[in-house]
Amino acid sequence: MVSITSPTAGEIFSPGSAVTLQASPVTGSGTVTSVSFYQSTTAANDTLIGTATASPWAVQWANVPAGSYSLTAVASNGSESLTSYPVAMTVESPTVVVNPNSIAVQQGSTGTLGVALSAQPSASVTVAVAKNSGGDADLSVSSGGSLTFTPSNWSVPQNVTIASGSTVADGGSQGTFTASATGYNSGSTTVTEALPAGSQSKYDSWFLNLYDTIMNPNNGYFSPKGI
């Protein structure tokens, strides 16, 4: 048998990274003479990355572009070969992470979002949080509109507070808030303006409480990326 030991399944890299591909081969009989590594982005696309001819059976995959990849290793002893199970890896651009990716804010009240970076910057990065045009005019950023992340606190979420007005006609309306920074893909969340607690039915209140519980990143239902 042969198995890929690096990268690990689901590992995420930044574009342009040099990724070490390594395998642990046993072909069943005879001495292993080579291990070849292949990548595919679709079932019909299988491309050779490189071949190792000696232990530790590793090759370097340089300047890997952004994308999702399925990797396989093929070990050969010259007369027979075995193929590993595929291992998935992702190369993604640095992103501003917003969590949760949707919240409900009652009229006259506020809600909180967590914002962080997916990759460590080399210098301080400023993240601007603003509502997209055309959204619910009753929703606004009341604090956290400008956040600064450093090489030491980049992964620690900082809070953004979204406030809702009290215009009855806007109940149920939505607005999308986007967090953006130079050199990073933007992150966003959808905010729904909920009716005040006193005007909700028991079902509405139950649903909103359940929704907030599930979407709260501290409760573990979603990953820091909102997955």
Identity at 216, one-letter amino acid code: N
- For residue 224, pLDDT over 60 is answered with no
Under 8 Å between Cβ of 179 and 128: yes
- For residue 29, pLDDT over 70 is answered with no
pLDDT value at residue 199 = 56
| Average pLDDT over the chain, rounded to an integer | 87
For residue 169, the Cα-to-chain-centroid distance in whole angstroms is 36
pLDDT tier, 6 (very low <50, low <70, confident <90, very high otherwise): very high
- For residue 222, pLDDT over 70 is answered with no
Mean of pLDDT values over 153-161: 95
CB atoms within 10 A of CB 43: 7
Assign residue 78 a region: left if phi > 0, alpha if psi is -120 to 50, beta otherwise? left
Number of C-alpha atoms within 13 angstroms, CB side, residue 98?
A: 27
